[in-house]
Amino acid sequence: MISKLLPLAALMATALFFSSCGENDEPSVSSNYTVPTTYNFNNVNYTKSTHLVKMTVELNAYLSKANAGSAVVPLDQAVVNNMFANTNSPFANADLNASSFSISSFVSEGALYKSYADSVLIFNTGVNASAGVGGFVPRNANKIVVSPTGLEYSQAYAKGTMGALLFKEAMLLLSNVKTMGIADTLAAQAAWDEAFGYLSVPTNYDATLTYVNSDPNRPLLWGGYLAERGIPIQAGSTIFGAFLKGRAAIGAYDVDARNEQADIILEKWEQLAAIAVLSYVTAPTASSNIGNYGSQFHELSEGFGFIASLKYRPSSSKLTAANFATLNRIIHTDFYVLLGQPGFTDLVTAQNILKSTYGL
């Protein structure tokens, strides 16, 4: 009972407040609540998700140093290990070093994604890559570090953890909120806020703005993809608006409206992942990219990570298990083989699955 959690001095006032709520002592749904235009609510706290996003950004940035220029840029295995586990104060942001959270504690399939990060260092040797040989592939004025099958390890890690950590956690949190009752209002608010943090947009996010890299409050990772890939499906305004409406509904005990907004976020966020995959399995087939392994491998590697995200799609997903298995098989095909298929048969199959499933 709520009254057990309240000070004695407030007990009578609480009893009066709930006296008309029925035999279950639950507050009535308010029909007059206001939905704000910014994510500013009482008792908001998404420190955990914010820290995990920023840790992911810092480790991604460190691994990407290997791609600079054409010569070997040495990386330190100890730095990668410490950033992944948040040990020995590895981050430039002191708040992250003091945090009790770590990538390793929350990412699914941690050993797999850690192996992708480690492989950036393993193949960062200056050897020119070719079919069956990992190493460097030129990309514009720089290069990428790839596996013997052409997978760019830094992208497999970066986009993979966006799915296996950030997307996965957000999907679980929002799905769990939908099972909560009015008595769980505080827990629902906390879970909703944490999920919002994984989107990583400012509290006054504006889908019509172009955020510059120098803006310390710019959207990060999934938040950046709201504009990078999500404009055709209006992902930014839809998801942010649903987060605002849902959080306001929780405070007003409007469970139906809360669940409706949760469903909107779940569906649109998954569609955002899908439209990113569609772009990355389509770009390598463009005439301007054919034969340019640096561009093609890079695009496919991003698609590799986003397809992995779909493993953590909500139970309401329109993507069937069979079609996900097909996408997974295609993106795990040796990239040299995949790009050598006449008419890009498998990539076209992937495109068609994504278009028909998600209405893209």
* pLDDT tens digits along 121-175: 999 999 999 999 999 999 999 999 999 999 999 999 999 999 999 999 999 999 9
- The fraction of the chain above a pLDDT of 90, given in percent, is 91
Sequence-distant (6+) residues with CB within 8 A of 179 are: none
Lowest mean pLDDT among 3-12, 48-57, 327-336: 3-12
Under a CB-based contact definition with an 8 Å cutoff, are residues 118 and 277 in contact? no
Average pLDDT, stretch 195-204? Answer: 98
First to last CA, the chain: 48
**Which of 25-29, 163-167, 270-274 shows the lowest per-residue confidence on average (mean pLDDT)?**
25-29
Confidence at residue 350, expressed as pLDDT on a 0 to 100 scale: 98
pLDDT at 22 over 80: no
Average pLDDT for 71-83: 98
SS3 for 194?
helix
| Residue 189 near residue 245, CB atoms below 8 Å | no
Mean pLDDT of 29-52: 93
- Spatial separation of the C-alpha atoms in residues 75 and 305, rounded to whole Å: 22
Q: Are 136 and 73 in contact (CB under 8 A)?
A: no
Angle, alpha carbons 212-216-220 (nearest 5°): 70
Residue 10: what are its φ and ψ, rounded to 5°?
Answer: -95, 0
**pLDDT value of position 124:** 98
Residue 71: what pLDDT?
96
Half-sphere exposure of 340 (CA within 13 A, CB side): 8
pLDDT in tens, 171-191: 999 999 999 999 999 999 999
What's residue 27's pLDDT? 75
Question: Which residue has 């956690």 as its token pair?
Answer: 169
Say if residue 259's pLDDT is above 90.
Answer: yes
Q: What one-character-per-residue DSSP string does 199-264 give?
A: H---TT--TTS---TT-TT---THHHHHHHTTGGGTHHHHHHHHHHHHHHHHHTT-HHHHHHHHHH
Average pLDDT over residues 101-112: 98
- Confidence class of residue 7 from pLDDT cuts 50, 70 and 90? very low
